[in-house]
Amino acid sequence: MLFIKAKKEALTIHQKAVGRYSLIYSTVQKKCELLYITRQQSVKTIEDIERLINSIANTPKEFERTLMQIRTERTKFHETEDYAAEAYKTALKSGASVAASVAASVAGGAAFASMAPTAVMWVATTFGTASTGTAISALSGAAATNAALAWLGGGTVAIGGAGMAGGKALLALARPIGWGIAAAATTGSIVAMGAKNKKISEKVAAEAKKITVAVAQLKETRAVVSKLHNETELLLCGIKEQFSNAKQMENVNYSDLSDSEQLQLGALVNNTLSLAEMLNKIVAEVKGAC
């Protein structure tokens, strides 16, 4: 038997699986980008509120403690962005050697070249950094490259990608073309070697199963990211309204404020802390809490 029919059916199933993955991945990417944009807007609002509170004299000690927590969360968010920027720059420098190490080196290089810095940012802030606590900028040579690739690999695992292999190839962050390339490369190499169609169909079918599992993982991730975005946006909208009402208190003495105004200011400070904490919530934490 030539297994021609089996091979065609397996390739069709694989193609459909890749199509489903690409569609889901695209929606996840858009939701992650929206979450990152909302978080950037949140940072700006938080900074505006910090300036307002700091302009008011004789505020309660509790305000000072809360503002310190707010600054800690805001700083952590910026540090994640900085780490992601370092990882991107380091990986970009090593892109040629990385691309050469994957089966589809030309396609891998093209995918890496198309990866935008903003993609690295939303991956880092949505899924967290797999760093060891040492900044990439403090490392050099192979250590820096390995640190960057290890972090990128962690990112692809978080979004249901191909793990360290996917991170090393730098494919999943650009677009979910890794499996499509793998299928094409497998088919091409099998033809070149004259392997049997049965082997092709078995390999492609096994790959399709992996993609199907990844699709389920991405759907779950999409729901979590949507939850994070909706909660952040709702909180941000409420705080913007509170901040607008509190602007009139700039540069005043806290003791001169009415009880109602003091309560209003206290609610603003507490809600701002809640928003600051939302900046650093990652998918894994939300999944674990469910």
79 CB-contact burial (10 Å; exposed 0-12 / middle 13-18 / buried 19+): middle
2 pLDDT band (50/70/90 cuts)?
A: low
When the pLDDT of each residue in the chain is averaged and rounded to a whole number, the result is 74
Residue 217 CB partners (closer than 8 Å, separation 6+):
159, 160
Query: What was the pLDDT predicted at 103?
Result: 30
Query: In which residue are the tokens 């009880």 written?
Result: 259
pTM of the model: 0.74
For the four alpha carbons of 40, 177, 25 and 283, in that order, the dihedral sign comes to negative
**What is the model's pLDDT at position 79?**
87
Instruction: Give the chain's domain count.
Output: 1
Q: pLDDT tens across 189-231, in order?
A: 444 444 566 677 777 777 777 777 777 877 888 899 999 999 9
Q: What does DSSP assign to residue 279?
A: T
Which residue range is the domain that position 10 belongs to?
4-289
CA distance 177 to 187: 16
